[in-house]
Amino acid sequence: MRNVAGHERGGSAVTETVATDVLVVGAGGAGMRAAYDAHLAGARVLIAVKGRFGAIGTRGAGATAAGLSEIGLMRMIGYHDEWSGEWDGAQTRRSQVFGNIVQAGLGMADREIAQAVVDEAAEVRKDLEDWGMVPTFANGFGIKTHGVPIKITLESVIRRTPIDVRERTAVVRLLTGANGSCVGAVAVDEKSGELLVIRAAATILAAGGMGRLFSHSFHPSCVTGDAYSLAHLAGAELMNMEFHQIFIGTVEPNANLVGSWLWRDEPQLTNAQGEPFLESYVPAGHSVDECFEQRRQHTPFSTRDELSRYIDIAMVREIKAGRGTESGGVLATVATHGNNGPSSDVGEWYTYRGVHWDRGPVEIGLFHHCSNGGVRVDVDGQSSVPGLFAVGESAAGAHGADRLGGMMLVASQVFGRRAGRRAAEHRGVAGEVPAGQVREVEADIDRYARGRARPEELGARLGKLAWDELLVERSQAGLERAIDEIQEMRASCLPQLHGDTPLSLVRALELQNGLVTAEIVARASLERRESRGGHHRVDFPERDDDHWLHALVVRRRDGGIEIVPHRVDPTWKPRSSDLWGKKWG
C-alpha cells in the first residue's frame, strides 16, 4: 500500500508513506536472506538499501560482496568435507566447531546462538544450492568472490518475487510507538532528498558494521555504523561493542586485505625512510621471527597470544610518529615465490588490483574489518525492543572477543533465515507513525540545508580519530580524548554541515549517527580495563578472567550511555589448548 502524504519541506521535497509487514534495512547477505525468508513465510516485505541492490563491491553491497575471502563457504559445517581445505576435515565436526567458536570468543559468545550456527549451517547452505548457488572455493584462495555466490543467488530469487526493493534509500531513524515497540523507519532518497516514512509491523536491521567510520576500511561507503546508533537511539541494548577485527591491508594503490600468508614469507617491514623498525618494538628476549610464527595462525590482530600483537603495535607507532607513508602505511618487501608470487592465485589477484609484490615494497596499513559485537539479540535475532530484529554484522552473540574465519558469512545465513521467519509472524497492521519523530528528522534536514561545512571534512576528522584511538592501541588517555572530541564534533561541527546534494545530505545524517556509534565504542573500550581478543588496552595489556569474564551491555539511559556487566556465558572456562595451535582466522 502506498500513499503520498503531501507534506512538503522547503516547498520541494515530498514525504511518501508506505506500509509493509517486514522492513529490512540493508541488502548484504544477511538482509537479503532475511527478506527472502520473510517473504516465503507469507509476509509483505520492503527492502531499503543504500546505493544499488545487488551491487558487488560498491555502495549497497555491504560486507558480503567486498571481495576479501571465501573461507566462509568452506565453513558450512558438516557439509562436503572434501572442501575442508587446510582445516583438515576435523573442523567440519559440529562439536569441534562449536567448541572452537566458544573458545575463540573467550567467554563473550552466546552459547545458544553459537549452537544455532553449528546446527543449521549445512541446512542454510543447502537452501542456497537448491536456489541455484554454485560455490567457487578456489582451493582456499577465493578472494575474488568472498560472499558473491551468496549475494548473486539471493538477488536472483528476490527479483522474481513481489518484494518491494527501494534502492538508494538510506534509513536514518527508527520509529518507536507509545509502548516502545519499533513501528518502522524514516529514510532519505539518495537521488532526490525526499523523505520516505515506512510503517512496518517488524523491522530487521541488516545494515552491516562500522568500517567506514575509520580512515582505513575495506568496505563500501554504505557501511557507516548506522545499525548500532539506530538501534541504540530506539532503545535497544548493544553488546560486545569493544570487540573488532583489525586486519592488515594494502593502502596503495587501493585497499586489499593481506592474509596470514605474508608472515610465512618473512617480510621486511620498513618505514617511509626505509628503516627496519620491528626489532625496536619486540619485547626483550624475543625475536621478530617469533612474532611472525604466532601471526601465521591468524590474520586478525589479537591479544590471545603473547607476541603477534607487536607487529601491529609497531606499525601504528611508526605511523603516529610521522615515519609512515603519505597514505598512512609502512613498506613491506617479500620474496615473490610461493603463495604471493606473480604466478600464484593470490599473486594474480593482487596484480589485477594493481598491487605488484614482485616489483619492490608495497604500502600496507591497518584496517578496521568488522565488528564482533552489535545489537543484543536472542537466537531468532529479536532485540530488546519489540518488533526490532538485527542480523549479520549488526547483531551480537554469535562471536565474541575473537571469531573464527568465515563465520560471519555462515551466521548471516543462519540468522537471516531465523529472523525473517520470526519477523513474518508480526505481519498485520503496523503501529501508528509518531509524527513528532518524523518532524525531528525534518528539522535535522532543514538545519543541514543551511550549513556551510562539507560532510567529507568531518568524516575525515572522525576517521583519523577512530583510527588513532579506537583501533589497535587503546588507553584511558586516548579513549577519553576520543570521547571529548566526539562530543565536541556533535556540539560544534554537526550543526555546521551542509547537505547541498541528496547524497551529501545522507552523508551528514550518517555522520550524525556515526558519532553516536563511535562514542559507544569508545565508552565500552574505556570500561573494559583489560586486553581480550581484538581489544588491546595499552595500560591493561593482560587478560583478566578474575574480574572481566563478563560482556558489556550498552543501554540508553536519560539521553546518555549506560554500560552494565552481563555474564553472557557463565560456564566458560579457558581451554588449556586454546585453539589447538591451528590457524583460526
Q: Where does residue 85 rank: exposed (0-12), middle (13-18), buried (19+ CB within 10 A)? A: middle
User: Which residues are paired to 553 by β-bridges?
Assistant: 239, 564
* Residue that is written with C-alpha cell 565500552 in the block: 524
Domain spanning 245-369 has what CATH number? 3.90.700.10
Q: Is 369 helix (H, G, I), strand (E, B) or coil?
A: strand
Beta strands at 560-566 and 551-557: parallel, antiparallel or unpaired: antiparallel
Q: Cα(470)–Cα(520) distance, rounded to whole angstroms?
A: 11
Q: Say if CB 340 and CB 334 are below 8 A apart.
A: yes
- Confidence (pTM): 0.94
Cα angle 495, 504, 232; round to 5: 65
pLDDT averaged per 10 residues, the chain (length 585): 36 73 96 98 98 89 60 47 38 75 96 93 89 67 64 95 98 96 97 96 97 94 96 98 96 91 90 97 96 94 96 98 97 76 70 88 96 98 98 96 88 96 92 93 94 95 98 98 98 94 96 98 98 98 97 96 97 91 84
Model pLDDT, residue 9 = 42
Model pLDDT, residue 338 = 58
Q: What secondary structure does DSSP assign to 410-470, as a single string?
A: HHHHHHHHHHHHHHHTT-SPPPPP-HHHHHHHHHHHHHHHH--B-HHHHHHHHHHHHHHHS
Reported as half-sphere exposure (CB side, CA atoms, 13 A), residue 315 has a value of: 25
Q: Say if CB 563 and CB 524 are below 8 A apart.
A: yes
User: Which residues are paired to 139 by β-bridges?
Assistant: none
- The b-or-e profile of 500-520 (16+ CB within 10 A means b, else e) is eebbbbbbbbbbbbbbbbbbb
* Residue that is written with C-alpha cell 565474541 in the block: 400
Reported as half-sphere exposure (CB side, CA atoms, 13 A), residue 259 has a value of: 21
Model pLDDT, residue 279 = 96
Q: Cα(550)–Cα(337) distance, rounded to whole angstroms?
A: 45
* Residue that is written with C-alpha cell 508480526 in the block: 426
Residue 377 C-alpha cell reads as 539479540
Model pLDDT, residue 405 = 82
Residue 24 C-alpha cell reads as 529490512
Q: Say if CB 516 and CB 232 are below 8 A apart.
A: yes
Residues 6 or more apart whose Cβ sits within 8 Å of residue 254: 353, 354, 355
Residue 432 C-alpha cell reads as 501508528
Q: Say if CB 203 and CB 185 are below 8 A apart.
A: yes
Q: Which helix (H) or strand (E) holds 157?
A: helix 148-158
Number of neighbours of residue 64 by Cβ within 10 angstroms: 29
Q: Say if CB 301 and CB 536 are below 8 A apart.
A: yes
Domain spanning 18-244+370-424 has what CATH number? 3.50.50.60
Q: Is 93 helix (H, G, I), strand (E, B) or coil?
A: coil
**437, 6, 172, 160: CA torsion to nearest 10:** 130
Q: Where are the domains of the chain?
A: 18-244+370-424, 245-369
Q: Cα(159)–Cα(62) distance, rounded to whole angstroms?
A: 18
Model pLDDT, residue 148 = 81
